[in-house]
Chains A and B, each alone.
Chain A
Amino acid sequence: GEDVEQSLFLSVREGDSSVINCTYTDSSSTYLYWYKQEPGAGLQLLTYIFSNMDMKQDQRLTVLLNKKDKHLSLRIADTQTGDSAIYFCAESIGGYSTLTFGKGTMLLVSP
């Protein structure tokens, strides 16, 4: 079955690094994604990683994938107050017809 788990809340100070963790259960996941939701808005894709990769870096974002442990993480370097949002981990399987989302991690960045 498909299940994606995330911690619900993370609080950091501005300038620190943030690490948001996610575990998934389906080993046949093709892509894994991180989406960001700002207050009152829809979700926007932040970054993604293909299942045959271990790491992906995109400016302040680093995604690490441990397929053995079915663990995905998102590291945000030099976290800013504008990074405060809900971050969703999601996985797709096979033909990408549906994504399964975690419950979301609320990141609060304080000055």
Chain B
Amino acid sequence: NAGVTQTPKFRVLKTGQSMTLLCAQDMNHEYMYWYRQDPGMGLRLIHYSVGEGTTAKGEVPDGYNVSRLKKQNFLLGLESAAPSQTSVYFCASSETGRGNTGELFFGEGSRLTVL
């Protein structure tokens, strides 16, 4: 199993450009998440989804949009990139229900630089 796959792994953007990060999971998980990781800040939740067709805001949602049209995919969009969005972005997924521990399964990250 591939687990959680993120594309692209690296991207350089100019200020004002738009782009979409794609996350795909093959574990049939209900929950999916987008985090950003910055030095000294740890991981901060951007948006998450508790099922196909649903999305919710996390701790730092401004400047990002998400969509979950298919259960296995969770897209993160930047409509007008800013240098403050330079970061490493991680997608994660998790199972739900009784007996589950809430473990998150992470992708390998997407490094985005905005010039």
Q: Which residues of A contact B (CB under 8 A)?
A: 8, 30-31, 33, 35, 40-45, 48, 88, 92, 95-99, 101-104
Contacts and interface: CB of A to CB of B under 8 A. Distances in A.
A88 B42 contact: yes
B42 A99 contact: no
Interface pairs A-B: 7 shortest CB-CB: A96-B102, A42-B106, A103-B42, A101-B43, A92-B102, A43-B106, A45-B103
How many B residues are at the interface, by size bracket? 20 to 34
A49 B113 CA distance: 37
A17 to B, nearest CB: 25
A42 B96 contact: no
Given A96-B102, A98-B48, A99-B104, A41 B42 contact: no
B49 to A, nearest CB: 10
A42 B106 CA distance: 6
